[in-house]
Amino acid sequence: MGPSDTNREQACATLERHLDYVFADRALLKRALTHRSAEADHNERLEFLGDGVLNFTIAAALFEQCPEAPEGDLSRLRASLVRETTLAAIAREIELGAAIVLGPGEMRNGSRRRASILADGVEALLGAIYCEAGFDAVRAVILRLYNKRLANLPTAASLKDAKTQLQEWLQARARSRPEYELVQVTGADHCQHFVSRCRLADSGESVEGEGGGRRKAEQDAARRMLAKLGADS
């Protein structure tokens, strides 16, 4: 076993300690940690499976923990817990990046720290645990990983995007829905900059927002309108 193999085994052992789960099938663990840039036997199918197991487990946990919450609030809470940024944060907590197997190009690009690769790796690991030990085992791992996050849930209202907040604020006052208009697109295809206008038809008030996509520009405009209306506090 060469130095790189030894380092990887050490990284896997550290990862398993964080998971509190040791793989009997080392080939399955390797597949779960192998990015498609490295070889044909990669982790995308396991990622697909892990995504489904994770979504169900978190949905069930929220259903039990928040008995009075409506479907919309549960959906927003679940989305916040299974989104890429949350999964990447969990990956860093369990030191997953050191164990990922990448192709030479991805290695040079520093992809070991990329949020999308880290998040996919967490889902693939969960899929692999399900394959090896079944649902109860992977559920236990998920609940351990999410213990603090489930104990400190944000309010569902805080997870609503700006456009939803603005629309609900206006509806509560029997006012018309806001209108959004694309004002300008600049820049090359790979780095376009968008400007959108949010206008209130019943008062004529308008503000402009900007961002790296049409939706981002509209969200920015909605945030600015909320601030203008004094509805962001």
Residues designated as active site: 51, 123
The residue among 175, 183, 180 whose CA lies nearest residue 202 is 175
The residue among 153, 168, 165, 166 whose CA lies nearest residue 80 is 153
The residue among 75, 72, 28, 71 whose CA lies nearest residue 55 is 75
CB atoms within 10 A of CB 26: 11
Amino acid making up residue 217:
A
Burial status of residue 32 (CB atoms within 10 A of its CB: 0-12, 13-18, 19 or more): buried
CB atoms within 10 A of CB 94: 19
CA–CA distance, 184 with 31 (Å, rounded to integer): 46
Q: Which residues contact 25 (CB under 8 A, 6 or more apart)?
A: 132
